[in-house]
Structure 1
Amino acid sequence: MKIRKKLIIPLLLLLTMLFVSACGKSTADNQQNSDKQQNSETYTLKVHMVINEQDPVYLGYTEFKKGVEARTNGKVKVELYPNGVLGNDEDLLQQAMLGGNVAVNSDAGRLGVWVPEIGILLAPYLTDSVEEMQKLVKSDLVKKWTDKLAQEKGLTVLSFNYYTGARHFITKKPISKPEDLNGLKIRTPGSPVWQETIKAIGASPVALPWTETYPALEQGVIDGAEAQDPATYGAKLYEVAKYITKTGHIQLWNCLVVGTKWFEQLPKEYQQILIEESVKAGDFTTNKLISNLEELEDQMTAAGAVINEVDIKPFKDKTETVYSKLNYQDLRQEVNKVLGK
């Protein structure tokens, strides 16, 4: 009897060890199989934009596409849809919020509707150079705002560093000072920071879709518009309003926005790749635009545009009221702290 007990106890211990080992191996195998299955899945991201194929931002997104597809071995496919063929920005952002596999080329004006702090990135004369703005849009301060957007509205900003240029006035009559804009109807986006900036300078803002700007100028519905050179060139606005006044009242930086639900279903490795490639593409866009600006202006001049350099101080002074109007004073101090001012 004692001999049997001596045999049974070790046998039970051996069976227990084998069982635990088998369970551990099974769990590890299941996790490994799950990881393999996840890495074998493919994903498609549709990038929506209203700009055309010649715009530097579009060229930046072609770099984003190449980088993402190469680094994920084709597991994340990026499809580019320029010229607004997928619809309007607001509808596409809603689709992204709901988990759709769409990304939107957006800006601080639209995102500022949901997170007001972001709107200051479009405030008039916020920074004094492209380098300052690059530092700001890549800062922890802006990341704090975009994190809030992801948490509260389900929109994840991959990067905010796609520079599209300084916005100038395009009008049917020459402009040399703010008073020349008094009473003119100027097309601008509908976000508060844009609207208040145009009002502060003295014009009457008219919110119209970008695609309707050319016919509205042609038909006299509006007296002018304000836009950055690549957009003005791409839409050929100089054909119907030949005076371009270089006020540079707003520095426009675009961002690439995806739905948080869609983004978080990706493997962590792929999430990081999308962020890194978006930053690279944004830097590519910025450098490309800056190097092409002089050529763009030469081409518009050759086509009949009259480009005016003006003293921006009177315009800058006029727009100071925008910061108090939109309660941006404290935010401006935070921005200046980031910039070391």
Structure 2
Amino acid sequence: MKKGVLAAFMAAMLAFSLTACGGTGTSESTDKASSDSSSDKVVTLKFAHTVQSGTKTAECIEKFCEKVEEASDGRLKIENYPDSQLGDDDEICDQIYNGAAMLDYVDPAKMEDYYADYSILVTPYFFDSADEIKEFAWSDLGQELSEGCAANGMKCLDNMGGYYGARQIMSKKEIITPEDMKDVKFRVPSTTMWVAMANAWGTNATSVAFSEAYTALSQGVCDAIENPVPAMLQASFQEVCKYLNMTSHMYAANGIVMSNKVFEKLDKDLQDILVDTAKEFDEWTFTEVSAEEKEAAEKMKEDGVTINDQVDIEAFKEASESIYSTYEGWSDDLVEKCQKTLAEIRGE
């Protein structure tokens, strides 16, 4: 579990930016939740994330910050720090785990070091459509996973119910089947699940920070990368990769996370505002990101990228199945529980 000395130090520096109105010192105790909405304390949280400015997701996060402050009559302020200003997701999550008064918007795989069961949501082809994300998030199992994560120190305000987009592969050559991925240097995040995905497809997993991916692709350190199309367009990957392969290997669920200790110390009405606004945020992401995906694909095409919609999805699904039997760290009955819940969602 990530509990580095540096993370602990930074967390201590950032923990509980709770300042009394008009004062400069730390506010009085929030050790017990209270429903007293007349409290004059001002709570300040930092929303630190790696989402790129200019994307619809970034706009939704900004809207979330504004809505929370408005709904709390200014008692809860959230400062927005996009574009990895305060570090990458691993660094931010370390600080959150160690008690920093921060939030992040992350995929479930980033919870792997704190609550491994959440990583199953990023198994390739786990969801058949984006709509299943919301239904799963607020199912009995979705609530169980959220509570399990909170018990391990990380509170997910929206049960991983946000939509980050359908993840596709950009590459320097056309990709039809997993065979075409052989010997390809495939940039993936450093999390275990993404590396497992790359291995299942027989490709060479190459862990490079997203902020360094353009350089890695242009210099041949990587040959391919996967992400939602809007994020790849914003990063200008169309300049170094001329194929957009529509694998749709993941309908990416994301969630707003914070320290459970920080959450529990907030007044009850502020907790409710955070959770309720996080649910609204999820709805915004589905509307805004879905529209943005279509526009981004069209812009890629205009920029000379070949849109490959002839991917053999079934071959990729079959290749991904091995992850369920080889991945270690999940609860013994987790796969079965997920299959049952998804079958219920699909009316099977």
Please point out which of 309, 332, 335 is paired with 2:335.
332
In 2, Cα distance between equivalents of 1:69 and 1:136: 29
Matches within 5 A, 1:35-184: 39-152=39-152, 154-159=153-158, 160-184=160-184
After TM superposition, give the deviation of residue 292 of structure 1 in Å: 2.2
Which residue does 2:238 correspond to in 1? 238
Which residue does 1:31 correspond to in 2? none
After TM superposition, give the deviation of residue 199 of structure 1 in Å: 1.3
After TM superposition, give the deviation of residue 38 of structure 1 in Å: 7.1
After TM superposition, give the deviation of residue 336 of structure 1 in Å: 2.2
Aligned residues: 307
Q: Indicate if the aligned counterparts of 1:113 and 1:191 stay in contact, CA closer than 8 A.
A: no
| Structure 2 residue ranges without an equivalent (≥5) | 1-33
- SS of residue in 1 equivalent to 2:73: coil
- SS of residue in 1 equivalent to 2:161: strand
Q: 1:146 to 1:304 in 2, by over 3 A?
A: same
In 2, Cα distance between equivalents of 1:55 and 1:332: 34
| Ranges of 4+ aligned residues in structure 1 off by more than 3 Å | 34-38, 327-330
Q: 1:220 to 1:35 in 2, by over 3 A?
A: closer
Matches within 5 A, 1:270-281: 270-281=270-281
In 2, Cα distance between equivalents of 1:187 and 1:60: 27
Identity %: 30
Q: Indicate if the aligned counterparts of 1:98 and 1:261 stay in contact, CA closer than 8 A.
A: no
Matches within 5 A, 1:317-328: 317-326=318-327
- For the pair 1:224 / 2:227, whether they are aligned, the reply is no
- SS of residue in 2 equivalent to 1:77: strand
One-letter amino acid of the structure 2 residue matched with residue 324 of structure 1: S
CA RMSD of aligned residues (A): 1.8
- SS of residue in 1 equivalent to 2:169: strand
TM-score w.r.t. the length of structure 2 is 0.84
After TM superposition, give the deviation of residue 233 of structure 1 in Å: 1.0
Q: Deviations over 1:57-91 (max 9, x none)?
A: 21211221122111100110111111101112222
In 2, Cα distance between equivalents of 1:37 and 1:170: 50
Task: Return the structure number with greater helix share.
Answer: 1
Q: Deviations over 1:247-294 (max 9, x none)?
A: 111221111111122212211000011000011011101111112221
After TM superposition, give the deviation of residue 37 of structure 1 in Å: 9.8
- SS of residue in 2 equivalent to 1:244: strand
| Structure 1 residue ranges without an equivalent (≥5) | 1-33
TM-score w.r.t. the length of structure 1 is 0.86
Q: Deviations over 1:208-240 (max 9, x none)?
A: 111011000011111111111121111111111
In 2, Cα distance between equivalents of 1:274 and 1:78: 10
- SS of residue in 2 equivalent to 1:169: strand
